[in-house]
Copies of this chain bind each other. A is one copy, B any other.
Amino acid sequence: MSATAGLSPLRVGLAGLGTVGQSVASLLVGDAADGIARRAGRRIELTRVASRTPKPGVDIGGAPFSTDLGSLVGNDVDVVVELIGGDTTARDLVASALGAGQGVVTANKALLAASGDELFALAQRQGAPLGFEASVAGGIPIINVLRAGLAANDIGWIAGIVNGTCNYILTQMAVAGQGFADALADAQRLGYAEADPTFDVEGIDAAQKLAILAALAFDTGIDIDGVHAEGIRSVDSEDIAYADELGFTIRHLGLARVAGGGLEARVHPALVPNDVLLAKVDDVMNAVMVHGSAVGGTLHVGPGAGGMATASAVVADLIEVARGTLPIPKPASRRLPALGIRAVRCPWYLKIPAVDQPGVFAHVAEVLGEHGISIEGVIQRPQDIHPGEAPWVPIVILTDEVAQDVIDDAVKAIEGVEGVTAGVTHFRVVHPDALDMQGDA
- Docked CA distance A319–B40 (Å): 21
Task: Enumerate A128-159 residues with CB–CB distance to B below 8 Å.
Answer: 133, 138-141, 144-145, 148-154
A415 at the interface (CB under 8 A from B): no
Q: Min CB distance, A156 to chain B, in Å?
A: 12
Cβ-neighbour of A312 out of B292, B318, B323, B325 (below 8 A): B292
Q: Is the interface of A mostly helix, strand, loop or mixed?
A: mixed
In the complex, whether A441 has a CB less than 8 A from a CB of chain B is yes
Partner of A149, one of B23, B26, B133: B133
In the assembled complex, the CB of A33 is this many whole angstroms from the nearest CB of chain B, namely: 10
Q: A294 — which chain B residues lie within 8 A by C-beta?
A: 23, 27, 32, 139, 308-309, 311-312, 315
Query: A40 to chain B: which residues have CB within 8 Å?
Result: 151
| Chain A positions 280-317 with a Cβ under 8 Å from a chain B Cβ | 280-281, 285, 292-303, 306-309, 311-316
Task: Determine the residue in chain B with the shortest Cβ distance to A35.
Answer: B154
Most chain B C-beta atoms within 10 Å of own C-beta, residue among A313, A316, A318, A327? A316
Indicate whether A219 reaches chain B with its CB closer than 8 angstroms.
Answer: yes
A151 contacts which chain B residues (CB < 8 A)? 36, 39-40, 315-316, 319-320
Give the Cβ gap from A158 to chain B, nearest Cβ, in Å: 14
Supposing A280-B280, A333-B38 touch, asked if A285 and B437 sit within 8 A by C-beta, the answer is: yes
B145 and A149 form a contact (CB under 8 A): yes
Tell whether, in the assembled complex, residue B152 and residue A316 are in contact, meaning their CB atoms are under 8 Å apart: yes
CB-nearest residue of chain B to A301: B299
- A40, A145, A152, A314, most chain B CB atoms within 10 A: A152
Q: Does B277 contact A309, Cβ atoms closer than 8 Å?
A: no
Q: Which residue of B lies closest to A303 (CB)?
A: B296
Interface string of A29-64 (1 = CB under 8 A from B): 000100110111100000000000000000000000
A3 at the interface (CB under 8 A from B): yes
Complex Cα–Cα for A26 and B333 (A): 24
Which residue of chain B lies nearest to A323 when distances are taken between CB atoms in the complex?
B327
With a 10 A CB-CB cut-off, give which of A36, A281, A314, A441 has the most chain B CB atoms. Answer: A441
Contact with B along A219-247 (1 / 0, CB 8 A): 10000000000000000000000000000
Q: How far is the CB of A365 from chain B (nearest CB, A)?
A: 36
Q: CB of A371 within 8 A of chain B? A: no
Q: How far is the CA of A150 from the CA of B312 in the complex (A)?
A: 7
List, in ascending order, chain B residues with CB within 8 A of A423's CB. none
Q: Which of A150, A295, A313 has the most CB of B within 10 A?
A: A295
A370 at the interface (CB under 8 A from B): no
In A402-421, which residues have CB < 8 Å from any B CB?
none
Asked if A439 lies at the interface with its beta carbon under 8 angstroms from chain B, I say yes
Chain B residues in 8 Å Cβ range of A297: 302-303
Q: Is A389's beta carbon under 8 Å from chain B?
A: no
Tell whether A125 is near chain B: CB-to-CB under 8 Å: no
User: Judging by beta carbons under 8 Å apart, are A320 and B439 in contact?
Assistant: no
Q: With contacts A23-B441, A295-B312, A316-B151 known, is A327 near B325, CB below 8 A? A: yes
CB distance from A318 to the nearest CB of B (A): 8
Q: Bound state CA distance, A148 and B36, in angstroms?
A: 11
A300 and chain B: residue at smallest CB distance = B300
At the interface, yes or no: A440 with Cβ under 8 Å from chain B? yes
Chain A: residues with CB nearer than 8 A to chain B? 3, 23, 26-27, 32, 35-36, 38-41, 133, 138-141, 144-145, 148-154, 219, 277, 280-281, 285, 292-303, 306-309, 311-316, 318-320, 323, 325, 327, 330, 333, 437-441
Q: A152-B312, A152-B315 are in contact. List 5 more A-B contacts (CB 8 A).
A: A36-B151, A151-B315, A151-B320, A294-B308, A303-B437
What are 18 A-B pairs with beta-carbon distances under 8 A? Answer: A3-B333, A40-B151, A139-B439, A141-B148, A141-B298, A151-B319, A152-B311, A152-B313, A152-B315, A152-B318, A292-B312, A294-B312, A295-B303, A295-B309, A296-B302, A296-B309, A300-B301, A325-B325
Smallest CB-CB A-B distances: 5 pairs? A141-B149, A152-B315, A298-B302, A139-B295, A294-B312
